[in-house]
Amino acid sequence: MKIFITGNSRSGTTMMSRILGNHKEVFSFQELHFFDEQLPREGFNNTPRKEEAVKLFATLCAIQRHGYFGSRDYTLFRDEALFTLNTGVPVKYSEVFEKFLVTETARNHKSIPCEQTPQTVYFIDQVLNSYEYAKVIVMVRDPRAVMLSQKYKWKRRKLSGGQIPLRESIRAYINYHPIAISKIWNRVMQTASEYKKHPSVLFVKYEDLIQNPKMIIEKVCKHCGINFEESLLNVPVVGSSSNPDNITKQGIDNSRLQEWENGGLNNTEIQICQQINGSLMDYWGYNPKSVKSNMFLSTWYDVSLPFRLGLALLFNLKRLKNIGKFVKQK
């Protein structure tokens, strides 16, 4: 079995990964960004040349061992990749990824790989069709809370104690625009909702998780076919866009549940989000707030959108193998 955690960015995917990673059988990976950044444009089920397969496997090793922002020097893991892939039989990109997940999980003395990259939401179909016994968990969060978290994501560099590169903070700052963030949430939830009735896909609302963690994680464990353990809930309180990381504090923090209502977003941002996502918010049980937007601020957001999108594209080019695919998804 393989577990894939996905959903909109800043919706609790990392928290869910940390929770499941506490299980004695589950190994949680870094955000690998295999589908959206590492997979070549020729496709998931194509067969690469041997050297390309080796480079892909070794690059995934580098991301996992050194962290997403760490060194990508794949040559350090080339011999390991050659040893693992040296079967003499051509393998598809999907099989290279599977071999990596299984091998790395076994290396860490566990048996169930758990991959958590938000952008995998656009590839749920490939996951379900390619991997037997795959289980997908889609995290859902109020788009206004997502917007607030994205708005201040650039502060993560300071809140994490400098673990995040300066370029990434600048990229996060540039990426934020209320219209763009709202439309991305809409696109993600429309895409994910196509699998609402699929037996291998479980939707988890972030708000339910932090208010009733034991009940929700018991449900997640049942979905994944693993036993619930109380220790799963002992996760460090880190990753916030507003509070410093506190690795000494364990548990599920629900203190900032409705923080978006307390001045973190202006009325115009809230109104934009609700206008774009009204029907989906209603579907997921997120009630609109009565607000009055500022006409001048609303006009500014409209006028500045093309410029911010162009700037965001420039700052994201380094992460893209297929610009057309990226633009279509977003």
Instruction: Assess contact for 7 and 123: CB atoms under 8 A.
Output: no
Q: Is residue 61 part of a domain?
A: no
Q: What is the maximal distance between C-alpha atoms in the chain?
A: 65
pLDDT per residue as tens digits for the range 118-140: 999 999 999 999 998 999 999 99
Residue 318 per-residue DSSP state: G
Angstrom distance (rounded) from CA 102 to CA 114: 10
C-alpha dihedral (23, 24, 26, 30), degrees to nearest 10 = 80
pLDDT band at 328 (very low <50, low <70, confident <90, very high): low
Q: Is residue 91 part of a domain?
A: no
Look at residue 6 in the predicted model and tell me its pLDDT: 97
Q: Is residue 256 part of a domain?
A: yes
pLDDT per residue as tens digits for the range 223-234: 999 999 899 999
Angstrom distance (rounded) from CA 185 to CA 167: 24
pTM for the model: 0.92
pLDDT per residue as tens digits for the range 249-268: 787 877 767 788 887 899 99
Residues 6 or more apart in contact with residue 263 via CB below 8 angstroms:
none
**CATH number reported for the structural domain that contains residue 272 in this entry:** 3.40.50.300
pLDDT per residue as tens digits for the range 20-63: 999 999 999 999 999 988 888 767 888 888 899 999 999 999 99
Angstrom distance (rounded) from CA 2 to CA 167: 33
Q: Is residue 252 part of a domain?
A: yes
Q: Is residue 92 part of a domain?
A: no
Residue 1 per-residue DSSP state: -
Number of Cβ within 10 Å of residue 274's Cβ equals: 20
Instruction: State both tokens at 167.
Output: 């370029």
Mean pLDDT calculated for residue range 154-175: 83
Which helix (H) or strand (E) element contains residue 265? none
Q: Is residue 88 part of a domain?
A: no
Residue 323 has pLDDT above 70, yes or no: no
**Between residues 47 and 248, which one has the greater pLDDT?**
47
Mean pLDDT calculated for residue range 270-282: 96
Residue whose C-alpha is closest to residue 169's, from 185, 150, 143: 150
Q: Is residue 103 part of a domain?
A: no
- What is the domain count for the chain? 1
SS3 sequence of 63-75: HHHHCCCCCCCHH
The residue range of the domain holding 193 is: 2-25+111-329
Angstrom distance (rounded) from CA 234 to CA 23: 11
Residue owning tokens 């201040």: 152
Residue whose C-alpha is closest to residue 208's, from 121, 141, 282: 141
Q: Is residue 16 part of a domain?
A: yes
Mean pLDDT of all residues in the chain?
90
Angstrom distance (rounded) from CA 13 to CA 183: 19
